[in-house]
Structure 1
Amino acid sequence: MTVSTHTDRPRRLGLLATAPLLAAAAISLVTASPAAAHHGWDGFETNELVYIAGTVSTEGNWGDPHSEFDVALDAELPADTPDLPIPEELSGPEDSVRVEAAPAYGGPHDELEIIIAPPWWSSSNGLDRSLEVGERFQGVGYINSTDDGLFRPVAFWYGDDNAPVNQVIGNTLPVRAPLPGGPGDAPSAPENPTAEDADIAADSGSQALVGWAVLGGVVVAAVVGGVFYLRRRTLQDERNPDA
């Protein structure tokens, strides 16, 4: 027979008191996820899209929270984005016109580190594998504010057939910055939001919420289950103090 000394009862009660806080934290994580998805562009020069082209030069990392690899840039780049198929998610005129007008990268590096969305997002938007060394890569995106050797695309194209891949969770550019050369190049974003703009804002980050909701649901379920288990064990101990 095992004799209980009840020394674990305070520990159980402490866990019981902590469990609701953990549940609240998990719920906060899930409900804040769309905003967090957009905040992922913080630290990048979102006021200026640039176009790059070259070949993948490292195997990099294909995984969470982001996939990363290096691209050796072409010695010469066109003045701006060439005629490439715009990802369907960014095909609206307010976004596509900005992607198509992005000027070529003119920075000091002949190789850039590329950071893209995690596999779960890229796989559902045109890329279900890691890129191979030597494979063709073109992208339109932003240079990092503090590390000018880091590039994050809003869209990119890979392979000889220029397969397009959307990289914007929420399916709209994080910032619709003024177009290069001024407003005469193409229509700018409307001053007053339209119904379409409102729908985009309402749906922003909805796909990201799915992934976060699964994770948050697992955490919440585990915490709630732990609460009921601890309550049951505590009541059993109180009813049978000498067990």
Structure 2
Amino acid sequence: MMKQKLISLLTIYEQKGLKPILGYEIEFYAREPLGIEVQKEKGKDQYEINKGPFDNVWECIESIERDRILLKAAGADLSPKPFKDDYGSSMHLHLNLLDNNQNNLFDRGAFLDFAANGLCQYINKTLKLILPYEEDYARLDDKFMAPTKVCYGNNNRSVAVRIPGTKPIRLEYRVCSNNTDPTTAMFIVLKSVLLGLESKYKYHFKVFGNAFDDQYDLESIAKSLSEAERLFDRNFFEKL
């Protein structure tokens, strides 16, 4: 069902002359060398793999699924919060959009802001499917650089949607866990961005400090599965 919805959504992207370029990061814990190229993360014995760019959504999805299988087979712990007093592990999705002339639309500030607003607008409305298990919510702890507020910002690891400081200009969706179904995540991210571009959302503004500071008075990301179920918007998935 979600695969068919994503197929339909990608058809709309193609009709509008928009080409998604994707990447991802998978964070995990491993006490022994895995024999693959990894980058050190903040937690003790925590690492990540970083893949992309992909110009084919399905290849990106297949790569995520394959990497999860390989990492688990090698003994990696992909759970969202294996240690109470250390950093949680997540999956981040990276996205930028090309037009028919292969130009990055996010080089234009307005497009970037509209897209980021779209992602923010639907975080809580779709979180039930992005974070499907209660254990996923344990990671959302601002003491460990996990998103707890609905917001975006430049090269800011306390936000839910980050604009990295390296080229190409892109958006990093920081809400997913390693339990998130990648097909569902792609649909949610791509539809949220499309709605942001079409509606020119400007409900959310860039955060420049710690997103959890009281001065910002931002909407909180749901703290439990039951809260996410209460905020869930079924209409998001029923209409294209």
Q: Pick the TM interval, shorter chain.
A: under 0.3
TM-score by length of 2: 0.25
Asked which structure has the greater RCO (Cα within 8 Å, sep 6+), the reply is 1
Q: Which has the larger radius of gyration?
A: 1
